[in-house]
């Protein structure tokens, strides 16, 4: 007996993904639909001796193909005929959800209507007569409480017993479809036809609601009470900052970073020395020892080190999203973000960018439109991630000891300003022909399903580790080669390596910015591997091997007696800080951009355009400072 194919479709926030996770558990595969960054989720289960393949289609309000999600759903039904299509409906918002239901039926797609979150509907005073609803559509109607495994598992019996060819649209639906066809053939303009069809759909929804749904008056809900201060006024902004501060503390201070440090220490202090010693005893060639310990292990370590941060951060984000709070963040920030050419939801990747660019870039996949996703991905690297802070702190303490805090604070605003300005420029140039819509639903507050939260975090972390990791690993090996070899072969002296040569060549580019030493050029190049490498490289090249990138004062003290103190003027130091704040994201972030955009072209664009912006802004800072007499 062939496998049964089941497609789950519905509006966002209907509990569709929760039902999918309850049905398939860990037996699911996550990928991307062809040509887009929208998640493709497929799970295979067995019930009553029959395999069932379940696909979770992207949440969408319609199939007009105006967003990536709408395009995916529209194309899927044009190219595929699953055995069963289950339209998941939020019973507490049934009127709005039926708009998609009617669109699907207009396209001749037989459905099973599943009323989810029936418990919430009852709390809202909504009573739905399932028999009358079934008669109104001519399609089977089921109901579930999404977080109840027992409730959801009953759907499997429905799947294996349903014969969709036995169901035909009701007279009410047939009359509506005839009306739509007449409107389409009326000869009216395209806009007028669309308006008339939408009006016809709402007329049908009103008829169905009057036949099958009764709504009794209910008191003020918990959601309404919470929204009075979580989604309104200045209080909402203050609480938003506090919530995100707490999230970052959990991810980058309390849980995520300590785990990342443990992994880093394991790779650097335990695994690499052990492997190097074992290879040395085995008589392995020096270059191979260096490749494995300094290239491969360091490369793998640079990938794995980010995993705890990503997992913890995405657990926090999935939890907040599951509660319904993330929709409030987008709602509160939309008027501000709109001025930069983005929607309110775009604030999320930018905020996450203050912690780490990698999960921030991955977070852009939650945005509604291709334009918002791409612009957010391309401007997020300007934000001051935690890896840039040691660079800023070192130079601020060394050259501006009395105003170090103010200088670092100013650099944060340089990054924010660059992100906002470039977002606006990209929105009216590169992406001017792309639509940017903002359709937002404020779902009721609810306690997230733990299984859904963990699975979503796992999907994102696993995707980063497998796909982005391959690109990052390759780049790490390339940089190892450049820093370990010259034309005469392998060298222990970095200042004699290919990297030093590249640094010398790169330094010419920075002559107008005042930091044209080969050491500065080499530090910029190693910063591509990881921004933390800038401080370490400066320490090694200027003769302070024991420098600690995370201890700005100690690092500055170690470098005061070196030639670095005379290699930079204070104005050149500011220009260097501006450049490192804005130039290309590290290879980890570049690899993630490649993964999320599915394009080498966009990864290359991100590299070159950020470098160009950094070069121009640092030039303006240095030359402008000289004209104003600050040199």
According to the model, what pLDDT value does residue 71 have?
85
Judged by average pLDDT, the poorest of 209-223, 262-276, 293-307 is 293-307
The percent of residues in the chain predicted with pLDDT above 90, rounded, is 31
* All structural domains of the chain with their residue ranges: 4-215
**pLDDT tops 60 at residue 15:** yes
Q: Write b or e for each residue in 365-384: b if 16 or more Cβ atoms lie within 10 A of its Cβ, otherwise e.
A: bbbbbbbbbbbbbbbbbbbb
Angle, CA 537 vertex, CA 521 and CA 360 arms, to 5°: 85
Average pLDDT over every residue of 489-506: 82
Name the CATH topology of 4-215: Rossmann fold (3.40.50)
Contacts for 146 with CB less than 8 Å, ≥ 6 apart: 15, 18, 19, 22, 116, 117, 152, 449
Quick check: 425 and 591 in contact, CB under 8 A?
Answer: no
* 349: nearest Cα among 320, 374, 322: 374
**pLDDT tops 60 at residue 417:** yes
Give residue 357's Cα distance to chain centre.
10
- Tens of pLDDT, residues 575-631: 999 999 999 998 888 988 998 888 899 999 999 999 999 999 999 999 999 898 877
Burial of 600: CB neighbours in 10 Å, binned 0-12, 13-18, 19+: exposed
**pLDDT tops 90 at residue 164:** no
User: Highest mean pLDDT: which of 32-41, 277-286, 312-321?
Assistant: 277-286
* 504: nearest Cα among 491, 490, 516: 516
Average pLDDT over every residue of 133-159: 87
According to the model, what pLDDT value does residue 76 have?
93
**pLDDT tops 90 at residue 544:** no
According to the model, what pLDDT value does residue 170 have?
94
According to the model, what pLDDT value does residue 42 have?
93
User: Highest mean pLDDT: which of 132-146, 383-397, 442-456, 498-512?
Assistant: 132-146
**pLDDT tops 80 at residue 34:** no
| 394 vs 196, more confident | 196
In degrees rounded to 5, what are phi and psi of residue 441? -110, 135
- Tens of pLDDT, residues 177-194: 999 999 999 988 888 999
According to the model, what pLDDT value does residue 20 have?
92
| 517 vs 383, more confident | 383
Give residue 450's Cα distance to chain centre.
20
According to the model, what pLDDT value does residue 453 have?
87
According to the model, what pLDDT value does residue 11 have?
92
Q: What whole-number distance in Å separates Cα of residue 598 and Cα of residue 34? A: 10
**pLDDT tops 90 at residue 232:** no
According to the model, what pLDDT value does residue 295 have?
74
Quick check: 124 and 218 in contact, CB under 8 A?
Answer: yes
The pLDDT mean for the chain works out to 85
3-class state of residue 446 by DSSP: coil
pLDDT band at 418 (very low <50, low <70, confident <90, very high): very high
| 241 vs 93, more confident | 93
Q: What is the pTM of this model?
A: 0.68
CA distances from 558 to 72, 186, 385, 547 (A): 57, 81, 25, 7
- First and final CA of the chain: distance in angstroms? 81
Q: Which residues pair with 29 in a beta bridge?
A: 42
* 426: nearest Cα among 337, 339, 344, 340: 340
According to the model, what pLDDT value does residue 604 have?
95
Copy the structure tokens of residue 107.
């396209």
Average pLDDT over every residue of 260-272: 83
With helix as H, strand as E and coil as C, how does 500-520 read?
A: HHHHHHHHHHCHHHCCCCHHH
């Amino acid at each position: 007996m062939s496998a049964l194919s089941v497609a789950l479709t519905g509006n966002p926030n209907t509990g569709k993904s929760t039902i999918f996770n309850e049905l398939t558990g860990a037996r699911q595969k996550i990928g991307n639909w062809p040509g887009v960054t929208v998640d493709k989720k497929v799970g295979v289960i067995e019930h009553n001796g029959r395999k069932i393949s379940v696909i979770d289609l992207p949440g969408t309000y319609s199939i007009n193909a105006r967003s990536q999600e709408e395009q995916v759903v529209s194309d899927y039904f044009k190219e595929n005929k699953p055995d069963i299509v289950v339209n998941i409906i939020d019973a507490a918002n049934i009127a709005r959800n039926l708009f998609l239901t009617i669109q699907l039926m207009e396209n001749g797609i037989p459905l099973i209507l599943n009323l989810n979150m029936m418990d919430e509907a009852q709390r809202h005073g909504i009573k739905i007569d399932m028999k009358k609803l079934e008669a109104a559509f001519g399609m089977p109607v089921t109901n579930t409480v999404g977080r109840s495994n027992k409730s959801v598992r009953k759907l499997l019996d429905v799947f294996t017993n349903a014969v969709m060819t036995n169901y035909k649209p009701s007279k009410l639906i047939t009359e509506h479809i005839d009306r739509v066809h007449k409107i389409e053939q009326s000869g009216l303009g395209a806009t007028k036809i669309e308006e008339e069809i939408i009006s016809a759909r709402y007329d049908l929804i009103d008829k169905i609601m009057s036949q099958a749904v009764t709504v009794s008056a209910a008191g003020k809900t918990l959601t309404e009470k919470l929204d009075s201060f979580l989604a309104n006024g200045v209080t909402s902004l203050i609480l938003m900052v506090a919530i995100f501060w707490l999230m970052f503390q959990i991810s980058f201070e309390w849980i995520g970073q300590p785990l990342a440090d443990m992994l880093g220490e394991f790779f650097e202090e335990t695994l690499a020395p052990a492997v190097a010693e074992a290879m040395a005893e085995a008589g392995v060639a020096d270059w191979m020892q260096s490749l494995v310990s300094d290239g491969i292990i360091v490369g793998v370590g640079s990938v794995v080190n980010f995993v705890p941060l990503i997992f913890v951060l995405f657990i926090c984000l999935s939890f907040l999203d599951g509660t319904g709070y993330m929709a409030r963040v987008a709602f509160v920030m939309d008027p501000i973000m709109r001025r930069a050419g983005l929607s309110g939801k775009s604030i999320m990747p930018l905020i996450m960018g203050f912690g780490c660019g990698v999960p921030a870039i991955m977070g852009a996949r939650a945005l509604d439109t291709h334009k918002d996703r791409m612009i957010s991905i391309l401007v997020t690297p300007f934000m001051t991630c935690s890896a840039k802070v040691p660079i800023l702190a070192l130079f601020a303490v060394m050259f501006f000891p009395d105003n170090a805090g103010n200088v670092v604070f100013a650099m944060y605003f340089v990054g924010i300003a660059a992100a906002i300005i470039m977002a606006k420029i990209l929105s009216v140039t590169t992406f001017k022909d792309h639509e940017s819509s903002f359709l937002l639903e404020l779902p009721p507050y609810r306690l997230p399903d733990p299984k859904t939260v963990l699975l979503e975090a796992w999907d994102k972390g696993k995707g980063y580790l497998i796909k982005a990791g391959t690109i990052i690993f390759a780049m790490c090996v390339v940089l190892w080669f450049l820093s370990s070899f010259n034309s005469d072969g392998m060298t222990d002296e970095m200042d004699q390596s290919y990297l030093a040569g590249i640094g010398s060549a790169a330094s010419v580019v920075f002559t107008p910015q005042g930091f044209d030493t080969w050491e500065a050029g080499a530090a910029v190049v190693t910063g591509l591997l990881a921004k933390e490498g800038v401080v370490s490289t400066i320490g090694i090249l200027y003769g302070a091997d024991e420098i600690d990138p995370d201890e700005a004062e100690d690092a500055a003290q170690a470098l005061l007696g070196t030639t670095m103190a005379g290699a930079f003027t204070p104005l050149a130091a500011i220009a260097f800080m501006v450049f490192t704040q804005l130039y290309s994201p590290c290879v980890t972030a570049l690899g993630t951009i490649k993964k999320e955009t599915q394009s080498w072209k966009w990864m290359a664009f991100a590299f070159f355009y950020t470098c160009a912006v950094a070069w121009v802004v640092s030039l303006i800072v240095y030359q402008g400072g000289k004209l104003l007499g600050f040199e």
